[in-house]
Amino acid sequence: MTRTAGVGSPDEDAAGRTDGSRARTAALAVICAAQTMFLLDTMIVTVALPHIQTGLHFSGPDLEWVITAYALAFGGLLLLGSRCGDVFGRRRMFVFGLVLFTVASLTAGLAQAPWQLIASRAAQAAGAAAASPATLSLLATTFPDGPARARAISIYTALGTAGGGIGLLAGGLIASLTSWRWIMLVNVPFGILVVALAPRVLPESGRRPGRFDVPGALTGTLGMTLLVYGLTRAAADPSGTVHWADPAVLGSVAGAALLLGVFVLVEWRSRRPLLPLRLFAGRARVGNYLAIVAYSMAMTGIAFFLTLFLQRIWHYSPMRTALVFLPMTALLVVCSRASGPLLRRLGTRTVVLGGLAVAAVGVGWLSMMDGSGGYLTDLLVPSSLTYAGLGVAAPPMTVEAMASIGERDTGIASGVFNCARQLGGAVGLALLGSITWTTVAAYRRLPDAQALAVGVDRGFLAAAALVVLALAATVAGTLRRRTPRP
């Protein structure tokens, strides 16, 4: 029997599937490498701040801007970056953002004055904001909906979730072994490699030329920038000064509330909105976004204050602190990968609720640490529960954020997801910082280490409450309405 014209042989079909699989694997590697670099830079400088302060002669208040400048630019420009990807092409914006991020990393590593480092950090974040929204959308267009996409997202989320831990680990190792400048310069060779590979392995999305939603871009970007600025500035500094009553904080938060309210009104009435409100249709999607925000608030605060506890209370060196995060980061990645098979067997709701419940127990246990505690029972076991639970819960939450999204909305949906994580992290750090330092001020009669231990424990307790809030949002979003009987 002759073969129908146009139909390849089994060997040709298998070769085509192999080539397609290799191409998708290469695309996934490029996307994950870029996103990991972007998220690493939100935390990598944390353990090296004392070295940066000494090297560039930062004052105490100015040193905060090394962290704040990145959070401000990244959180404020994400939605605008999403819209630019839709208009100019997502691969093009991905490459442009990577180039800007890489060049800014070079200038940051070569900085000779505080203002140069702060400006470079803001430019790094602007590049990340341009490229980061395209990562999930490129992932969604590269992998077909189903198990293949779920596996890809689980890998992507594993690395993204581990970004904070990997950043702390890398920052500690680099600060201990070499100059702090290599924290910035290490991005340069990786950035060049990813920029060279991206046009070869990533598909270009369809461009949708059109008018920008200028009022939405201005009110949304400025509103989020003011919100991140206010909440980041409100977080108390290590000296114990709480900034919530600062007029700049109050004015920023009030201005952000006003501008974001105007933004919602503009988007509701716009024919080409920057943020289509249809993305928030349905209780399940809203509940998932709330869970992502609460999860990110807890995750960022846990990593930051655990580092502070280890170095200032248990007197760990940056190197030893980095080694403490090594098993946690590995566990986070392993559990994120394991969530894929669990998701297929148990379903999204069960995996998310189970992971968040385990994490809540772990964070609650961490809140009982003190200055005389032991590594095994006070740190390793509870932190393992925390990171295992968060690692299992993160991938299905990411899958739900991109589920049932049309191709035209994948870019903005990716931007909203990353914006929720970034703003959630900034809000969480501000909230937990305020709780921690207010408690420290209330216990000034105790020795400094004891007062700080009490403050960090209260912060961890608040983080546990945030994980429980994420669990509650998931439950509320997935409850089935009862159908009335006839």
Q: Residue 259: what pLDDT?
A: 93
DSSP assigned state of 185: H
How many domains are contained in the chain? 1
Would 13 be classed as within a structural domain? no
In a domain, 9, yes or no: no
CA gap 216, 92 in Å, rounded: 23
In a domain, 6, yes or no: no
The reported pLDDT for the residue numbered 448 is: 79
**Exposed, middle or buried: residue 375 (CB in 10 Å: 0-12, 13-18, 19+)?**
exposed
Q: Cα(367)–Cα(347) distance, rounded to whole angstroms?
A: 31
Looking at the domain assignment, is residue 410 inside a domain? Answer: yes
CATH number at residue 195: 1.20.1250.20
| Residue 85 burial (CB count, 10 A) | 31
- For the stretch 358-417, pLDDT in tens is 999 999 999 988 877 778 888 889 999 998 998 888 888 887 777 767 666 666 777 777
Name the residue among 142, 143, 85 with its Cα closest to residue 408: 85
Of 344, 432, 334, 457, nearest to 389 (Cα)? 334
What integer pLDDT is reported at residue 235 of this predicted model?
Answer: 59
CA angle 291, 125, 301 (to 5 degrees): 40
pTM of the shown model: 0.73
Q: Which domain holds residue 470?
A: 21-202+212-478
Q: Could you give the dihedral angle defined by the CA atoms of residues 121, 462, 397 and 206, in that order, rounded to the nearest 10 degrees? A: -30
Tokens read off for 118: 């702060």
List the chain residues with pLDDT less than 50.
1-7, 10-16, 480-486
| Predicted local distance difference test score (pLDDT) of residue 237 | 56
Q: Is 443 helix (H, G, I), strand (E, B) or coil?
A: coil
Per the CB < 8 A criterion, the answer to whether 78 and 87 are in contact is: no
Residue 484 lies in a domain: no
User: Does 485 reside within a domain?
Assistant: no
pLDDT of the residue at 486: 39
On whether residue 348 sits in a domain, the answer given is yes
Domain-located, residue 1: no
AA identity, residue 204:
E
pLDDT on residue 18: 53
Q: How are the residues of the chain apportioned to helix, strand and coil, as percentages rounded to the nearest 5?
A: 80, 0, 20
